[in-house]
Amino acid sequence: MIERSEHGISRKQFSPNAIKVLYRLKEGGYDAYLVGGCIRDILLGQQPKDFDVVTNATPEQIKKLFRNCRLIGRRFRLAHIVFGREIIEVATMRGHHEADEEKNHVSQSSEHGQLLRDNVYGSIEEDAERRDFSINALYYSINDFCIYDYANGISAIKAKQVELIGDPETRYREDPVRMLRAVRFATKLGMTIAPSTEKPMKELASLLDHIPPARLFEESLKLFLNGKAEENYIMLRQYGLFKALFPALDKILNANPDGLENAFILQMFKNTDKRINAEKKVTPAFIFAALLWFPLLDIAKKLQQRDQLSEFDAFAQAMNKVLSESAQHIAVPKRFTLGARDIWHIQQRLDKRGGQRAYRLTQQPRFKAAYDFLLLRVQAGEQQHQELATWWTAYLSQDINGQKEMVKALGHQGGPKRRRRPRKKKAE
């Protein structure tokens, strides 16, 4: 237990809604604590984004206390207390799987040791042992304003280490996503992964193949949209975790580690981090368009050779195939795959600029993203497109008259003009 005078954390640093939840639970006769990332981040001098609460009340008991509550989750039941745009997540303290079945506690594991259902409730001490990393097993009480540290989380924060609680192999088998979380916490917090925690990661990376694709999509967004995407990508490759997310691209990267493909992905993540850290918008459609670009080109080339298809037809079929194969690993929502398709389609049309084509292309909703994609390709080393990228950059800086002059200067594209057939004279 760390006294209030020793940790220096004030209630003013927490969300007022989180404090309301704590007091309502207390008034209802239950124990309640702020837990995990919000405590960790404040101790590290960072502003928390989420405020999570843990209590000895069951989800059903929580729901009775809050009219603005909804219960979610199958693997582990959670209560979401909704305050407008803010959601305070409330979890019941977890216990060990050997809990008495007479208490109606439910636990279920897969053949690989992965927890499929985890509705086993227990004490705060058991809950701390069930948390993934020691830096996330810190509890703040409104009863005495003390921090309770059951897993040496304060020591881990001081040592700047991400360390699993318990046996690493067992904990990864329970939930393989913990390997992705270890990477994300390490880069986000400027920490290293403890030797014992990182040791089994390469060997157990394939366990991620058994995680639902929808969950891996959510985890990939956390990895690639947090301003540390480049570092996360490098670490995912280092531990063999990237293969579970993007196996086709991983294979291409392994075949040519120092090639254009790796330079392209690194540059894309570098640009993504720059935009996010400047508080600019980034669409997942662009990121997934980039991550699937080289697998797309590879499939298109093979289809063209095997089925004697035109470049356009091979490319169209390859888009369907690459998205279908990717969906087996990451379930990217349709609104983002449609965006990726548009970005890819426009790549094929950027060199066709004659007549009204250039203007019409700029009116496409995804044109700006597709233009940025072209710049990325050149930036990564595709110098054969430098002239095209320079032309489009100049074109976009011109007014309508300047744009017409640039198109006129190109000359007619697409071969000789088609002659109109003379109209037949009407019989008098």
Residues with a known catalytic role:
50, 52, 132
Sort residue 156 into left (φ over 0), alpha (ψ -120 to 50) or beta. Answer: alpha
Q: Which helix (H) or strand (E) holds 92?
A: strand 86-92
- Report, in this order, helix, strand and coil percent for the chain, each rounded to 5: 55, 10, 30
Concatenate the DSSP letters of all residues of 370-398 into one string: HHHHHHHHHHHT-GGGHHHHHHHHHHHHS
SS3 185: helix
Distance CA 191, CA 308 (A): 52
- Quick check: 255 and 226 in contact, CB under 8 A? no
Concatenate the DSSP letters of all residues of 243-268 into one string: HHH-HHHHHHHHHSTTSHHHHHHHHH
Distance CA 131, CA 35 (A): 10
N- to C-terminal Cα separation, the chain? 106
Backbone CA torsion sign across 312, 314, 316, 319: negative
> Comparing C-alpha atoms, which of 138, 177, 181 is closest to residue 162?
181
Task: Round the CA-based radius of gyration of the chain to a whole number and report it.
Answer: 27
Distance CA 322, CA 293 (A): 9
> Comparing C-alpha atoms, which of 58, 13, 60 is closest to residue 39?
13
